[in-house]
């Protein structure tokens, strides 16, 4: 049977996680409790973290840190995080957003995990604490690669927070989730783009996709063709041409891999051009 | 937004009513908004056990062994049920009306025929304990070849899904692998039509997806009875099915329900009642068995898929002169209610249009998927999709506006329908006219003047001469393309008209208080006697012209039978229960 | 990118009740000593409004106020047998059974009133507000309440009635399919306006306009509920939902309401329904039953509208963006059909 | 496994129960405390029929650890009416015939209540967003949207949500 332990500090939770293979962190509950309710998770220990640091947001400065236990609703309530509101609002309905956390979203299986796509486009790092030591920052891309390799990313330790550099200009950050059902639906795909510009030209743009690979992925081909270019028709056309590089979408109940590939360039083009979906 | 058009058909109604016709508040609404409405699961019982199923992970497999010993020892587990524990472990839903053979176990014994088929039931003190114990059940399977396509399933050599029906089709009238409809000569009409247009349509399976999943609570009551909180769409239908499977007299079961969180057809199969009652009987404890959402989605019996071929003969002036439909119901692994849908579908062909030559062959095919069942529009929704898409194509081929085309071909009062009954009380023309008007879809003066009350009958009331055939004899796929065997003369009917409805209660001799239902006088024809329960159809005269037929005698009452079930009468179609 | 508007229509009929009959419904009605009636059934209310439909029919037939009638269903110990709530049979079959039971109860009620008023029961009428009086002489009157009290405490009468409605089962001919199917049919026609995105294949249902003929409407608000909710389900069937997205391949079945696609509250299409009433000769007050058919015309009307918009026929449901996109590719581009009137005559 | 105690205010009254450590709030409310207002519809967080307010915020009780509710304020649809007086949202749902089977209604009302508490004058889009996590299979949503807008127009949000 399942037991539950409450941990007053992140270190305590990290220590238990590293020592007990049957221990599992529970934050908002939207992933773990479903597994409990449906009988996939019947043994082990659920760890609750009551440490306030787990729910802390430092969003005022250039370097942003959001605790892994911060909910989507808390993101939406934070004006300093306005550039992330579209991504936070893409997660579930209001009740889910009251519960679902940034940290949980990092573990959500495709085609879920749309908030992580936004973090990926922001070049976020994941703070992972293994054992009782202190946390270390891992590039989100590496973290996701580890998740894809190892199934549960939990083996890497306790995710305590995510960090990233705040976009200079919030309007440089774009996010769009394509779903069949409105206003709330599971992803056909999602796209996030951070497009900082200098002198009318894009500088090191970062673009990420959800549901186009087993885990959220960077669109390196798109980033390459956009880098150093003005965001004009020609650049958008080139981005659409490069859109599919590296994609490995799945066929699932929502859409086929074929369809995902067909519409990704379309939606990327519309997003970059500032057109409605 | 709803608008009433009282002036249309006003002369056929008396609108001087007190409360009928008024938009007064629903009796159940205060309960709904205060959350006081009690659904089946909204009842507290002390000592409640929770039932969870082990289901087949395979689409088709032989069960080599089932080991429940570890599960039986697991914490909180009070009982583990296997097929052998089910008193009558073979049933078909329509056995209650003597239609079809028992073909479905409550818990699989020798093999599983679809992914998700129930194999073992676990009863424990909590859901969590039942779920944990579920992981401890060991079932070994030998995989069997599968078939998922309805037409593949009917080919010789296809894997046999359900041994009760070894040809993978439901058997109609102990003669055919499908239900026929024959009215006029479609082949001759195709030959002289200006266009012959044939297309294939595929209705998808649909999950009913009521927000309340299927479930039951059963509790031992006083006097050896069991109180059963049920979400069934047919209370006695479920009670009788349960009584048969757990093998108790029906009055040992006290079913309470009637307030259901959505059904749409998904709660007619008694998916949970029998096992829950059995669990309560064997443990002496109240038992709750509720499908979780994934079970409801994947194993809660969907609307069956249907594949429909429509072939039409069309004249340049837009008249449809022939329609032939070949349709396949995907029953999944067991019959449930598909056999009935095929009959209903046959009655619905060719849609609300007057077509002088119509034929159809409706098959029910077994495949290795979750058994399908009734859903909102059962037997009709899919055909309407096919027919109305086809109508759009025909209108285009005739170079006609789709609205004009519907009105031209619409059935009207007095038209003979292909199942050889006269259409009455029709209103398709008026619906099309009003919809076009509100949508601002311009139509011709002629179409605007059309009426359901005129233009029907006369020549359109005649039953044409009809070629018959013996295609699709049971066990003989080689006969599927056989020739016509004989021609029924024009005007022939064989089935007695329905008896007057029984409308009992007002025997006090008092004047009728308000309008009461009227039932139409039977038409003047006197069809010949026909009762396949007394004599199989093959022993009947091949045909009998209506004019020479004797008056219809009143059939004798069906003898009482000792089996379970609310309604008892002899088989009227299909294969009789064994 | 371009969005293309299209318009399509469909017309249908629908059989009311189990196809071949043989599906009885029964009702019991009784009054308490105050003239308040209980209708005991075993019919099922799964949201379609069985309780309220039975209640209105009972009140109308009894001639008493709606507040004086409650429907109690379903309990197999107290409610007599009913086949169930399916096949659009509730209003038609059970409605008739309730009428039969209510007529009998009303007969006793009027008998008791006649005895109190010392008149002939045949001369009595009810006003639907709780009073019984002599036809043409409203001052010669007694309340239903006083009548019920007199009947039960003075006259020794039970104000009760029982009813059954059964269309006897009939047979089907093996060779011709001849049969006596349903006796009542409802009708509908529906026009759908859609917009199709030619780069993504996505369909937006812009609006729908329909006309339904349903026999006598027992309660127009509840008819509206059925038709509006059913049209939403029709859109869902047409464009979104299925447990087997790659049928007949059984893989990728949805496991929850996220994966099982249905239109959300943001996908609602404006919808206008006009209702016609051609009473069914054998229906309760001429009623038929809108419960099942309300999704049916939506599916083909949308399919035909998509064809009108972009020239793609999708003959396999659901009409997913993928199928439309593949169709546009196969056709070498969008092929819009002729414009068909509009804009609609409603708002 | 030993049961754990948990205590909170449910619709204004102090209530307590014992639960499995990993037991969810929905089971405690329904089977432990007899509040059958919140329904079981999926156990997955995909249907919204179990929606309750935890400290005024909407949560899915099927995904909420019961023990995490210690000391909190839980409100369900069962406690919405003020004695015999319906909450304006309840009245608006009645007036707009916004329920058929009624199974999604408690969750819908709760989701709408959460909206109007924060936003007494929502737009249609905001209403749609507020109920986007709640499935209704009967009504086609339109009557529910209309009811919530009507309740807001009548001042439900400001009066008492």
Q: Which is more confident, A157 or A103?
A: A103
pTM, rounded to two decimals:
0.94
Quick one: what percent of chain D has pLDDT higher than 90? 94
Last residue of a domain, one of B264, B299, B334: B299
How far apart CA B397 and CA B86 sit, in angstroms, is 58
CA angle A28/A34/A36 to nearest 5° reads 105
CB-CB neighbors (< 8 A) of A4 in chain D: 4, 21-22, 65, 67
CA distances from B336 to B85, B178, B353, B474, C83 (A): 22, 16, 31, 20, 16
- Chain D touched by B26 (CB under 8 Å): yes
Whether residue C217 sits in one domain with residue C136: no
β-strands C124-126, B502-504 pairing? unpaired
CATH of residue D29:
3.10.20.30
How far apart CA C217 and CA C289 sit, in angstroms, is 9
CB-CB neighbors (< 8 A) of D126 in chain C: none
pLDDT of residue B217: 98
Whether residue B351 sits in one domain with residue B270: no
Whether residue A135 sits in one domain with residue A29: yes
Whether residue B428 sits in one domain with residue B378: no
Evaluate if residue D124 carries a pLDDT over 50.
Answer: yes
Q: B102 near B153, Cβ under 8 Å? A: no
Backbone angles phi, psi at C35, to 5 degrees: 80, 20
Mean pLDDT of C289-314: 97
CATH of residue B280:
3.90.1170.50
Q: From the candidates B43, B211, B213, which should be mutated to test the interface with D, based on the most D CB atoms within 10 A?
A: B211
CATH of residue A35:
3.30.465.10
Interchain contact, D142 vs C257, CB within 8 Å? no
Whether residue A134 sits in one domain with residue A224: no
Beta strands in B452-493 (DSSP E): 466-469, 484-488
Whether residue B238 sits in one domain with residue B95: yes
Interchain contact, C42 vs B297, CB within 8 Å? no
How far apart CA B481 and CA D33 sit, in angstroms, is 66
Evaluate if residue C113 carries a pLDDT over 60.
Answer: yes
One DSSP character per residue, A54-67 reads GG-EE-SSSEEEEE
User: Where does residue B509 rank: exposed (0-12), middle (13-18), buried (19+ CB within 10 A)?
Assistant: exposed
Range of the structural domain that residue A254 is part of: 174-273
At C90, list the tokens.
């509730």
Q: From the candidates B376, B403, B538, which should be mutated to test the interface with C, based on the most C CB atoms within 10 A?
A: B376
Whether residue C303 sits in one domain with residue C255: yes
CB-CB neighbors (< 8 A) of D43 in chain B: 292-293
Whether residue D74 sits in one domain with residue D21: yes
In tens, the pLDDT along A154-187 reads: 556 899 999 999 999 999 999 999 999 999 999 9
Q: Which residue of A has its CA nearest to D126?
A: A183
CATH of residue C235:
3.30.365.10
Last residue of a domain, one of D62, D79, D96: D79
Whether residue B219 sits in one domain with residue B176: no
pLDDT of residue B490: 97
Whether residue B218 sits in one domain with residue B140: yes
Q: D12 near D28, Cβ under 8 Å? A: no
At B417, list the tokens.
């329908």
In tens, the pLDDT along A4-19 reads: 999 999 999 999 998 8
In a domain, residue C313? The reply is: yes
- Chain D touched by A211 (CB under 8 Å): no
Whether residue C115 sits in one domain with residue C47: yes
Whether residue A180 sits in one domain with residue A143: no
> How many domains, chain A?
2
Last residue of a domain, one of C165, C192, C216: C165
CB-CB neighbors (< 8 A) of B136 in chain A: none
Whether residue A152 sits in one domain with residue A181: no
Q: To the nearest whole angstrom, how far is the Cα of D35 from the nearest Cα of chain C? A: 22
Interchain contact, A36 vs D68, CB within 8 Å? no
The band of A132, judged by pLDDT with boundaries at 50, 70 and 90, is: confident
Whether residue A102 sits in one domain with residue A204: no
Whether residue D56 sits in one domain with residue D116: no
pLDDT of residue B305: 97
Interchain contact, B34 vs D80, CB within 8 Å? yes
Evaluate if residue A147 carries a pLDDT over 80.
Answer: yes
Cβ neighbours of residue B140 closer than 8 Å, sequence gap 6 or more: B63, B64, B65, B66
The band of A151, judged by pLDDT with boundaries at 50, 70 and 90, is: low
pLDDT of residue A135: 86
Question: A50-88: buried (b, 16+ CB within 10 Å) or exposed (e) per residue?
Answer: ebeebbbbebeeeebbbbbbbbbbbbbebeebebbbbbb
Q: Which is more confident, D1 or C129?
A: C129
Range of the structural domain that residue D154 is part of: 88-159
CB-CB neighbors (< 8 A) of D63 in chain A: 28-30, 33-34, 37, 99
Whether residue C200 sits in one domain with residue C100: no
Residue C115, classed as helix, strand or coil, is helix
Q: To the nearest whole angstrom, how far is the Cα of C243 from the nearest Cα of chain A? A: 8
β-strands A197-198, A173-179 pairing? unpaired
Q: Which residue of C has its CA nearest to D96?
A: C221
Instruction: Lowest mean pLDDT of B405-419, C282-296, D96-110, name the range.
Output: C282-296
In a domain, residue A117? The reply is: no
Interchain contact, C255 vs B294, CB within 8 Å? yes
Q: C247 near B204, Cβ under 8 Å? A: yes
Whether residue C261 sits in one domain with residue C243: yes
pLDDT of residue A68: 98
> How many domains, chain D?
2
Q: Which residue of A has its CA nearest to B52?
A: A39
pLDDT of residue B512: 40
Last residue of a domain, one of B274, B299, B324: B299
CATH of residue A178:
3.30.390.50
Whether residue A207 sits in one domain with residue A161: no
Whether residue C147 sits in one domain with residue C36: yes
User: Within chain D, how many helices (H) and strands (E) appear?
Assistant: 6, 5
Range of the structural domain that residue B406 is part of: 399-457
Residue D130, classed as helix, strand or coil, is helix
Interchain contact, B131 vs A39, CB within 8 Å? yes
Whether residue A140 sits in one domain with residue A24: yes
Range of the structural domain that residue C300 is part of: 3-15+182-330
Q: Which is more confident, B549 or D30?
A: D30
At C151, list the tokens.
């009947």
Interchain contact, A39 vs B132, CB within 8 Å? yes
> How many domains, chain B?
3
- Chain C touched by D40 (CB under 8 Å): no
pLDDT of residue C21: 87
Instruction: Lowest mean pLDDT of A13-22, A187-196, B430-439, C50-59, name the range.
Output: A13-22
Residues 74 through 113 of chain C touching chain B, CB cutoff 8 Å: 74-77, 79, 81-87, 96-97, 99-101, 103-104, 106-108, 110-111
> What string of pLDDT tens digits covers the 578 residues of chain B?
899 999 999 999 999 999 999 999 999 999 999 999 999 999 999 999 999 999 999 999 999 999 999 999 999 999 999 999 999 999 999 998 888 999 999 999 999 999 999 999 999 999 999 999 999 999 999 999 999 999 999 999 999 999 999 999 999 999 999 999 999 999 999 999 999 999 999 999 999 999 999 999 999 999 999 999 999 999 999 999 999 999 999 999 999 999 999 999 999 999 999 999 999 999 999 999 999 999 999 999 999 999 999 999 999 999 999 999 999 999 999 999 999 999 999 999 999 999 999 999 999 999 999 999 999 999 999 999 999 999 999 999 999 999 999 999 999 999 999 999 999 999 999 999 999 999 999 999 999 999 999 999 999 999 999 999 999 999 999 999 999 999 999 999 999 887 777 776 544 434 343 334 444 333 444 444 434 343 333 333 333 334 444 444 444 444 444 344 433 333 344 444 43
Q: From the candidates B120, B124, B128, which should be mutated to test the interface with A, based on the most A CB atoms within 10 A?
A: B128
CATH of residue D129:
1.10.150.120
pLDDT of residue C19: 84
CB-CB neighbors (< 8 A) of B180 in chain C: 174-177
Mean pLDDT of D117-140: 98
* Torsion over CA: B316, B322, B324, B325 (sign): positive
């Amino acid at each position: 049977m399942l037991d539950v332990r409450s941990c007053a500090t992140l270190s305590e939770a990290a220590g238990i996680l590293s020592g007990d293979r049957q221990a599992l962190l529970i934050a908002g509950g939207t992933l773990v409790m479903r597994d409990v309710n449906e009988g996939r998770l019947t043994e082990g220990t659920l760890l609750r973290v009551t440490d306030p640091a787990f729910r802390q947001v430092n969003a005022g400065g250039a370097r942003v840190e959001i605790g892994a236990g911060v909910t989507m609703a808390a993101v939406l309530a934070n004006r300093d995080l306005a550039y992330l509101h579209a991504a936070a609002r893409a997660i579930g309905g209001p009740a889910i957003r009251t519960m679902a956390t940034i940290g949980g979203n990092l573990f959500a299986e495709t085609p879920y995990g749309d908030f992580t796509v936004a973090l990926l486009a922001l070049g976020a790092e994941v703070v992972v604490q293994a054992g009782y030591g202190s946390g270390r920052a891992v590039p989100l891309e590496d973290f996701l690669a580890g998740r894809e390799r190892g199934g549960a990313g939990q083996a890497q330790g306790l995710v305590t927070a995510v960090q990233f550099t705040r976009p200079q200009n919030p309007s440089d950050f774009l996010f769009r989730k394509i779903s069949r059902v409105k206003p709330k639906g599971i992803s056909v795909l999602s796209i996030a783009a951070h497009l900082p510009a200098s002198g009318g030209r894009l500088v090191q743009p970062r673009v990420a996709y959800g549901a186009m690979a087993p885990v959220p992925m960077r669109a390196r081909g798109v980033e390459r063709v956009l880098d150093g270019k003005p965001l004009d028709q020609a650049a958008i056309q080139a981005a659409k041409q490069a859109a599919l590089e590296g994609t490995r979408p799945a066929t699932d109940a929502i859409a086929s891999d074929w369809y995902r590939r067909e519409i990704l360039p379309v939606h990327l083009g519309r997003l970059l051009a500032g057109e409605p979906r | 937004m709803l608008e009433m058009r009282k002036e249309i058909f006003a002369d056929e109604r008396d609108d001087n009513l007190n409360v009928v016709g008024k938009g007064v508040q629903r009796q159940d609404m205060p309960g709904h908004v205060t959350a006081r409405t009690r659904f089946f699961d909204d009842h507290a019982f002390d000592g409640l056990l929770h039932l969870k199923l082990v289901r087949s992970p395979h689409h088709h497999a032989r069960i080599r062994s089932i080991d429940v010993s570890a599960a039986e020892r697991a914490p909180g587990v009070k009982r583990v049920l296997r097929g052998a524990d089910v008193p009558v472990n073979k049933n078909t839903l329509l056995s209650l009306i003597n239609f079809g053979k028992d073909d479905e176990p409550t818990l699989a014994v020798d093999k599983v025929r679809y992914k998700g088929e129930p194999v073992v039931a676990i009863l424990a003190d909590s859901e969590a304990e039942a779920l944990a114990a579920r992981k401890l059940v060991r079932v070994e399977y030998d995989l069997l070849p599968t078939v998922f396509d309805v037409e593949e399933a009917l080919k010789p050599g296809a894997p046999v899904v359900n041994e009760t029906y070894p040809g993978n089709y439901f058997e109609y009238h102990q003669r055919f692998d499908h239900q026929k409809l024959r009215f006029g000569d479609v082949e001759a009409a195709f030959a002289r039509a200006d266009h012959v247009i044939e297309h294939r349509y595929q209705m998808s399976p649909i999950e009913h997806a009521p927000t309340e999943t299927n479930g039951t609570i059963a509790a031992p009551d006083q006097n050896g009875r069991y109180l059963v909180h049920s979400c069934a769409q047919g209370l006695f239908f479920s009670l009788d099915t349960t009584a048969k499977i757990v093998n108790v007299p029906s009055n040992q079961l006290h079913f309470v329900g009637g307030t259901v969180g959505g059904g749409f057809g998904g709660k007619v199969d008694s998916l949970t009642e029998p096992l829950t009652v059995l669990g309560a009987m064997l443990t002496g404890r109240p038992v709750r068995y509720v499908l979780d959402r994934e079970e409801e989605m994947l194993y809660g019996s969907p609307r069956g898929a249907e594949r429909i071929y429509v072939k039409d003969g069309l004249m340049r002036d837009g008249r449809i002169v022939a329609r032939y439909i070949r349709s396949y119901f995907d029953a999944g692994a067991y019959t449930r209610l598909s056999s009935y849908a095929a009959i209903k579908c046959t009655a619905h062909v060719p849609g609300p249009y007057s077509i002088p030559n119509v034929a159809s062959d409706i098959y029910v095919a077994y495949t290795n998927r979750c058994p399908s069942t009734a859903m909102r529009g059962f037997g009709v929704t899919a055909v309407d999709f096919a027919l109305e898409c086809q109508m759009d194509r025909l209108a285009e081929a005739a170079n006609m506006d789709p609205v004009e085309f519907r009105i031209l071909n619409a059935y009207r009062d007095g038209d003979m329908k292909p199942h050889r009954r006269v259409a009455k009380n029709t209103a398709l023309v008026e619906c099309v006219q009003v919809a076009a008007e509100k949508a601002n879809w311009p139509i011709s003066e002629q179409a605007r003047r059309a009426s359901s009350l005129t233009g029907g009958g006369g020549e359109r009331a005649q039953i044409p001469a009809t070629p018959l055939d013996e295609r699709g004899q049971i066990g003989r796929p080689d006969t599927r393309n056989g020739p016509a065997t004989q021609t029924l003369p024009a005007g022939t009917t064989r089935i007695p008209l329905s008896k007057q409805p029984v409308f009992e209660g007002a025997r006090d001799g008092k004047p009728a208080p308000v309008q009461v239902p009227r039932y139409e006088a039977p038409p003047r024809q006197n069809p010949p006697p026909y009762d396949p329960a007394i004599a199989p159809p093959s022993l009947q005269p091949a045909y009998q012209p209506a004019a020479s037929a004797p008056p219809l005698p009143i059939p004798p009452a069906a003898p009482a039978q000792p089996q379970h079930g609310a309604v008892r009468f002899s088989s009227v179609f299909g294969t009789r229960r064994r | 990118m371009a969005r293309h508007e299209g318009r399509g229509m469909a017309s249908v009929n629908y059989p009311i009740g189990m196809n071949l009959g043989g599906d009885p419904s029964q009702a019991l009605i009784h009054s308490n000593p105050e003239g308040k009636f209980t209708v005991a059934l075993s019919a099922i209310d799964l949201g379609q409004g069985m309780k309220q439909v039975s209640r209105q029919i009972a009140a109308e037939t009894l001639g008493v106020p709606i507040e004086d009638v409650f429907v109690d269903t379903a309990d197999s110990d107290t409610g007599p047998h009913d086949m169930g709530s399916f096949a659009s049979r509730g209003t038609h079959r059970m409605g008739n059974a309730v009428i039969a039971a209510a007529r009998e109860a009303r007969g006793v009620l009027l008998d008791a009133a006649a005895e109190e008023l010392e008149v002939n029961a045949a001369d009595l009428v009810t006003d639907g507000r709780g009073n019984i009086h002599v036809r043409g002489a409203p001052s010669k009157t007694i309340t239903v309440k006083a009548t019920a009290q007199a009947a039960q405490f003075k006259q020794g009468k039970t104000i009760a009635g029982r009813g059954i409605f059964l269309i006897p089962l009939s047979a089907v001919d093996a060779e011709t399919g001849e049969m006596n199917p349903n006796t009542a049919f409802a009708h509908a026609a529906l026009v759908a306006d859609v917009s199709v995105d030619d780069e993504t294949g996505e369909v937006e249902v812009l609006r729908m306009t329909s006309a339904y003929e349903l026999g006598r409407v027992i309660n127009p608000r509840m008819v509206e509920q059925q038709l509006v909710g059913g049209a939403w389900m029709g859109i869902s069937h047409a464009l979104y939902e299925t447990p087997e997205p790659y049928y007949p391949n059984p893989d990728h079945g949805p496991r929850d309401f996220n994966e099982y696609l249905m239109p959300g509250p943001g996908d609602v299409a404006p919808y206008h329904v006009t209702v016609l009433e051609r009473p069914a000769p054998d229906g309760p007050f001429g009623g038929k039953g809108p419960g099942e058919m309300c999704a049916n015309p939506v599916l083909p009307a949308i399919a035909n509208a998509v064809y009108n918009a972009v020239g793609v026929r999708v003959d396999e449901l659901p009409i997913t963006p993928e199928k439309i996109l593949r169709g546009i590719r196969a056709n070498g581009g969008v092929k819009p059909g002729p414009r068909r009137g509009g804009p609609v005559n409603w708002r | 496994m030993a049961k754990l105690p948990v205590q909170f205010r449910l619709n204004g009254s102090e209530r307590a129960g014992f639960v499995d450590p990993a037991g969810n709030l929905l089971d405690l409310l329904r089977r432990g405390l007899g509040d059958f207002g919140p329904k079981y519809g999926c156990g997955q967080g995909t249907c919204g029929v179990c929606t309750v307010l935890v400290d005024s915020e909407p949560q899915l009780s099927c995904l909420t650890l019961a023990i995490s509710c210690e000391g909190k304020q839980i409100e369900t649809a069962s406690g919405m009416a003020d004695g015999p007086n319906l909450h304006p949202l309840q009245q608006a749902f009645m007036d707009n015939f916004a329920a058929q089977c009624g199974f999604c209604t408690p969750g819908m009302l709760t989701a709408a209540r959460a909206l109007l508490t924060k936003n007494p004058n929502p737009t249609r889009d905001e209403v749609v967003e507020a109920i986007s996590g709640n499935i209704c299979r009967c009504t086609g949503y339109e009557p529910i949207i209309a009811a919530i807008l009507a309740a807001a127009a009548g001042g439900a949000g400001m009066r008492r949500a």
